[in-house]
Structure 1
Amino acid sequence: MPINVKVMNRPVEQVSYIRATLSGMANTFRHFVSGRRHEVTTQYPEEKEAISRRWRGTHRMLTTETGKAKCVACGLCPTVCPANCIKLVPGEDEDGNRYPLVFEIDEFRCIFCGYCQEVCPEEAIHVGRHYENAEYSREGFVYDLERLTAQTHPVCEMWDPADPLGE
């Protein structure tokens, strides 16, 4: 497939930009005297704007009624993760039930795609709607199983093809 190149010729005669400048100044003056004042600044800590139900923020591990993580250490989430940010070491108890010995998510590496939530057969891992995550060290952004199960923020509602507008 050949590449088409469009050659643009610059004007060779003297060009005056005064007309464009005056047009822009007139537009600015029109907005200045229109009388409409648009409040665009949100006073952040006191006021928070609503975010979408489909916002993908920090992760959360759901638990059973007994307080244990729902994860069965199947290994699908680290396999499907494009950023390779999930570390999973599976274990097995005396009854033959699988559980994660180590489950860590590096939030710095994560691209918040939501694949881990989509692929989980037990619906254990969810991408939450929490976005205020400040830490003083890089190690603070590695969420282990204990920290993931302690999260209480609401979870993301992924896009439903039957409802394209998200209503």
Structure 2
Amino acid sequence: MAATVQIMKRPVRKSSYIRATLSGMALTFRHLVQSAGDRSDKTIQYPDEKKQLSPRWRGTHVMETHDDGRPKCVACGLCPTICPANCIKLVPGEDDQGNRYPIVYEIDEFRCIFCGMCQEVCPVEAIHVGNHYEAGEYTRDNFVYDLDRLMKQTHPSTLLWDPADPAGE
């Protein structure tokens, strides 16, 4: 089958962009006039008022603790293994009774993609992705969350998708 080529000719006259510019300005003016009556519905006074986040929102991490203040983490090594961004650093240790615990547990929030896989893979549900999203810092070093800082996080955890409940109810 032979390929056919269709030759398109350009218009001979010079095109003017005045019509496109005026239609764009008319659209902007229409939006300006339509939204003048209900501006208060669209404006949020941010520090005082905040939007309701989705229950599945993924923000900074939270390390769950036991009642005596020890982290729930058993240093199994699944979270750094499953992490696609390679942002979790874990050095395991063991006490006299044979209980495993993390000596070093750090999450680099700059590298983290907030996928929630660390939360899903944790066998003891020690690490959770929280609802906190206001994480402004002055230096890059403050975005590396160590074990103490993760245990001090008090914001609630997020609800991730459960494969047993595909509708999310």
TM-score range, shorter chain: 0.7 to 0.9
Query: 5+ unaligned residues in a row in structure 2: which ranges?
Result: 1-6
Deviations 1:8-46 (A, max 9, x none): 875444334444344334434433444633343322112
Q: Give the aligned partner of residue 36 of structure 1.
A: 37
CA displacement 1:104-138 (0-9 Å, x = unmatched): 11111111111111110111000100011122222
Give 2:111's match in structure 1, choosing from 109, 112, 118.
Answer: 109
Identify the residue that residue 20 of structure 2 maps to in structure 1.
Answer: 20
Q: Write the distance in 2 (CA, Å) between the matches of 1:16 and 1:89.
A: 67
Could you tell me how far apart the structure 2 residues matched to 1:138 and 1:26 are?
45
* Equivalent position of 1:120 in the other structure: 122
Judged with a 3 Å threshold, the aligned counterparts in structure 2 of structure 1 residues 91 and 29 are, in CA distance, closer, same or farther, namely closer
TM-score by length of 2: 0.82
Q: 1:135 to 1:31 in 2, by over 3 A?
A: closer
Q: 1:134 maps to which residue?
A: 136
Q: Which runs of 5+ in 1 are unaligned?
A: 1-6
After TM superposition, the score normalised by the length of structure 1 is 0.83
User: Paired residue for 1:67?
Assistant: 69
Q: Take 2:69 and 2:85, find their aligned partners in 1: how far apart are those partners?
A: 29
Where does residue 48 of structure 2 map in the other structure? 46
Q: CA RMSD in A?
A: 2.3
Closer, same or farther in 2 for the Cα pair 1:42/1:14, shift >3 Å? same
CA distance, structure 1, for counterparts of residue 111 and residue 29 of structure 2: 46
1:37 maps to amino acid: D
Q: Runs (4+) of structure 1 moved beyond 6 Å? A: none
Distance change (3 Å), C-alpha of 1:132 and 1:33? closer
Aligned residue in 1 for 2:95: 93
- The aligned residue for residue 149 of structure 2 is 147
